Structure 1
């Protein structure tokens, strides 16, 4: 490992590079605690380019903690739709309400208090503490691990604690905000997972992996996690030009959001059998169902096959599904935010 002189040289080289090369990102132009917090939650397991339009819309609608805390879960989830990992959005809302209730709407500046917020772990607390408050707390994500591993030529698996200890030793007093962002920026732009741009790296002279010519093999590739296949039936039930929507209860779809009646196909049931059972749970009478095409949809590590059925309900019939409503075709876009439901409905209503 490096001595204090080597660490000091590394800090200087990296900070100089960051001052010249850092990306212009909206949370960097105004690094207020609330804005940093929202950005860090959105960036959990999501790429920067994907986050940017969502972040801009979120900030426009919820410019401060007070506004967010007063909103409904449905409003927050509507802006989050398409970003995935929806528990992040719910935790943002829970945390905003906690901050307003317990701290008068002022974002906490103590690491321990930040760590107590819903949806915040050690990495996120360290990122907020360092970036927003310039406190010398380390951050360790995939980018940081890769930079550490290559700089020290680590070819084997090491415990998570090793990376935290190393990152902590690197963080300079007085420059934690820029330094932590610089390490992550280096990993994102230069010291990339594949084909690292070593000639453009500001600290290549310190890199053991480059000296040994093994930078492309560090860290070793992990076996891809196999995708799980799961099948559902969805019913598009129409009555006098209106489609039945129900609130989702969780599972693979966003809890609390409006969608088509849905059920997972289990116990080797056929799609037609599963659709019939779902229809019987909704209405006390039988009606014909027409099977439409299979819709394929993907979310993280899951391949979803949706068997879509269309049924026309008699004029006076009532659905007994809890928390349901009939919505006119022109108004459906206001209620359906999930691309899976939109694809299924398009299939059901096509001739």
Structure 2
């Protein structure tokens, strides 16, 4: 364990630690939310919830969690799942590497542990896609092991409790918070202790609009007592995502089917179906009365020509106007222009990655959020 004094942190004595545990857990017993994954000790179900809750709000997760378990009730079902069925069950949650890693981990469990979820921290942490936080959460909640689960919410609370002058966004500083939690965690109720700190950090002591006067542990908090709540936690702002212009081609044939393409060549949205998409070099700005859109028009005409050559078709291009769409990933911000084309004959050679699909069959294809936005915008104008 690291020397906390070297980081300017003076640990409480045993009586204060015991008082802190009681205060926090008494609050949790009164105020904890009734969530479906808190009604079970099944490590598989707890694991599913923890992965879904990464970068996703609780209320959004609940219906996904319940549907996912209906589709894949056991780790064996998840390991054997078809990719498109798996992506369809996850559709809309984003960060799709999470569910792919879950399936890889499920296959590890089947192959290495005969389908039984490993019951100690070290083995859990060896599973694909499971880091120290998730391993600690599963170990403490499902198996009552005194393992800390240190996420951003927990680091925020600890930063204020001890006025920690280290950036919580720097991975190298995580060891400070891990060492603190190893001392503070309640050995008798480790899962509840971890969840109590998570709840506290996500609500009352949230990053935006915290309510420090309502915190059950405010009188343990050095930042509260010293009037420095606005200083902690220390965290540098994230880099802004880079803008990328995307041209979406909505192509219909004479029977009303749409041309869909499966993304097989990129880690971003790999495995999902969409209208054909093409990254362009020209970033289209919102038009004003004084804009000269000649450059934009030339770029669009060029992309249409490239599309025709790539797919060996010559659609009749529509002049209908659609609103520009935006979709933000963690590192990219897509600005999406829609272009509609009609074909007199469906003369594309269909394959595993390119096919004509009726609108009624869209429900059977996994669509990522950008595709759903494109479809919604298009359908708003479908009867124009």
Same fold (TM over 0.5): yes
Give distance in 2, aligned partners of 1:76 and 1:239: 29
Deviation at 1:294, TM superposition (A): 4.5
Q: Which moved more, 1:127-136 or 1:310-319?
A: 310-319
1:330 and 2:360 are equivalent in the alignment: yes
Deviations 1:200-225 (A, max 9, x none): 32222211111111113312464353
- In the alignment, which of 199, 209, 215 is matched to residue 229 of structure 2? 215
Partner of 1:347 in structure 2?
378
SS at match of 2:55: coil
Shift of the 152–53 alpha-carbon distance from structure 1 to 2, 3 Å rule, reads same
Partner of 2:72 in structure 1?
62
Q: Which moved more, 1:328-337 or 1:166-175?
A: 328-337
SS at match of 2:318: strand
Deviation at 1:7, TM superposition (A): 1.2
Partner of 1:306 in structure 2?
336
Deviation at 1:129, TM superposition (A): 0.8
1:297 and 2:307 are equivalent in the alignment: no
Give distance in 1, aligned partners of 2:323 and 2:374: 8
Give distance in 2, aligned partners of 1:70 and 1:340: 28
1:19 and 2:19 are equivalent in the alignment: no
Give distance in 2, aligned partners of 1:137 and 1:223: 30
Shift of the 7–343 alpha-carbon distance from structure 1 to 2, 3 Å rule, reads closer
Q: Which moved more, 1:149-158 or 1:200-209?
A: 149-158
> In the alignment, is the contact (CA less than 8 A) between 1:14 and 1:202 conserved in 2?
yes
Partner of 2:196 in structure 1?
182
Instruction: Kindly indicate whether structure 1 or structure 2 has the higher relative contact order, using CA contacts under 8 Å at least 6 residues apart.
Output: 2
1:249 and 2:264 are equivalent in the alignment: yes
Deviations 1:222-256 (A, max 9, x none): 43532321111122222222111111125485211
Give distance in 2, aligned partners of 1:343 and 1:191: 33
1:227 and 2:241 are equivalent in the alignment: yes
Superposed, 1:13-92 pairs within 5 Å as 13-92=23-102
Give distance in 1, aligned partners of 2:374 and 2:210: 41
Give distance in 1, aligned partners of 2:323 and 2:47: 40
Partner of 1:278 in structure 2?
307
Partner of 1:317 in structure 2?
347
Shift of the 331–71 alpha-carbon distance from structure 1 to 2, 3 Å rule, reads same
Number of corresponding residues: 350
SS at match of 1:58: helix
Give distance in 2, aligned partners of 1:321 and 1:338: 20
> In the alignment, is the contact (CA less than 8 A) between 1:109 and 1:133 conserved in 2?
yes
Q: Which moved more, 1:293-302 or 1:199-208?
A: 293-302
Shift of the 15–262 alpha-carbon distance from structure 1 to 2, 3 Å rule, reads same
Q: Which moved more, 1:25-34 or 1:47-56?
A: 47-56
Deviation at 1:290, TM superposition (A): 2.9
Superposed, 1:134-173 pairs within 5 Å as 134-157=144-167, 159-173=173-187
Give distance in 2, aligned partners of 1:198 and 1:294: 43
Shift of the 250–51 alpha-carbon distance from structure 1 to 2, 3 Å rule, reads farther
Give distance in 2, aligned partners of 1:27 and 1:336: 26
Partner of 2:287 in structure 1?
none
| Structure 1 segments unaligned to the other structure (5+ residues) | none
